[in-house]
Structure 1
Amino acid sequence: MKTGKNQSVGTDFLLVGLFQYGRINSLLFVIIATLFTVALTGNIMLIHLIRLDTRLHTPMYFLLSQLSIIDMMYICTTVPKMAVNFLSKSKTITFLGCEIQTYVFLVLGGTEALLLGFMSYDRYVAICHPLCYPILMSKKICCLMVACAWASSSVSAFMHTLYVFQLPFCRSRLIDHFFCEVPALLSLVCQDTSQYEYTILLTSYARVLIVVFHMSSGKGQAKAVSTCSSHLSVASLFYATALFTYTRPHSLHSPSQGKAVAVFYTIITPLLNPFIYSLGNKEVMGAMRRLLG
């Protein structure tokens, strides 16, 4: 079945990778595998700690455990394939595999973006409306927040993936990236996609403005800065790198810059999140000490 000019569904893509592969492939594999293991271990430990310690059974830590689950899925979506490519002679990925990877990555990215916004809202309510906190952030509402984040991101990701993969990939089969990401795929399309790119830009800015709105209430903002430094650092790192990738016109995209920035939100962010939230959090550190005896 044809989906575009000189394009068949069964045709594989070729991933260039993070670096030009050479003699240090084995070293790169070890580094990536180590980072992958540390990220998984840190997030699993944080989830386990939140589940075991009843003092952490609060809305904030429920949302934090969901963030750790997303981070684990995030890193499992891209890193294993990249690590294997360091040792494999074949750097290909099937059309269907690329489509699935793009969809899952978009779902996780969208869910994390919304979840960070909900976590900001949680801190805003706790600081500015403490008496209403049990009502505004009840267990039912927290579950609805998480469900809405997953559902809306799944629908959005499906629409974006469906649109991108019906475009004619007639320039090349070579993806200058280490995984299938929308900006890298658009560079292979021989069709004007400017309208689609501007739609993504406006949508991305709208999401960030919503988060800023939740955190910009008078005295609540000043208190939030002093009490929510961990969350602010995580949110800033995620949104800054995501904005850099998805809110620039295609003409300004550089493959090398795109890959470097992608490392942050595919590897560095999932790696740092559990340590930022645990090492900078007295409650989590207290729970860890109680767990260790």
Structure 2
Amino acid sequence: MTRSLPQVMQAARYHGPGPTLQLEAVPVPAIGEDEALVRVTHAGVCRTELHFLSGLLNLGIAPLTLGHEMVGEVVQVGAQVQGPPPGTRVIVNYYGTCGQCFWCRSGQQNLCSQVVAQLGFTADGGYAEFVKARADMLAPLPAHLDAAQACTLGCSATTALHAARRVAPVQLGDTVLIYGAGGVGYALVQVCKLSGAQVLVVGRSERKLQLARELGADAVIHAGQEPVAETVRRLTGHEGVDILFELVGTRETMDQSLQCLRKRGRLVFIGYSEDQLIANPLLLVIGELQILASVGSTQQDLLDAVALASSGKLR
């Protein structure tokens, strides 16, 4: 028997840059044949939402329900949906891709050239009682995983997996620096340690750096108390690191990051700000340094994140 659903729900709506979202009554979304309706039970707050409110990220779409980290229960499915069925707890992937372009067909959906809907970015997201998504964007959540903790798997964990396994694959024996102690940084610590790397973390909060230690970081550097590049050189025998994941994106952190790389080192940008990268090409050339970037994740990254969390290897 189909569960009776309301016609109206509450949603936290974005109307443009400003200090708050507006709680409003909006229609419960109607689903298509290949979509599912999910009753949202948990939704996370990411740095991205703060970028919306500050105006740093402004896609010109408003009003909009924000929220791209979400867990819930499937309550309704379209006629063509094979699964997961109603009653299933799921994590919702916020990338709604076309499935037809070169990037989608090659398993790189995060680079889709015809994005249909990015939940919480270009389409209504999880800061509501219900959200609709294509059924192939859902990942069943094992019963033993806590929904509140699993909520961030769809963003921080998948972002980390994509960066450290696809963009700049971390290998046994690599020395990795993670610049930024936060959700993605914590996930990167664990993913890199699983690959057998030595992991250094830079941050400005002793509390956050302590958590990085507890998650497996081999060394931490307090950016407000120690010279970052000099400390990294000292910890690496004056060689520098093989891979650096940059999660902050300010002029200061970008400059410091370039100074921390060893020859043929890879700098991977994940975070960003309004600042621009200014680099001396000679420094890049003589060191054969590589500058890379990583954005979002794929559906396979989400499935991998859930599997790692389910096995206790990622938390």
Q: What range is the shorter-chain TM-score in? A: under 0.3
Higher relative strand content: 2
Q: Which has the higher contact order (CA 8 A, sep 6+)?
A: 1
Q: TM-score, normalised by structure 1?
A: 0.28
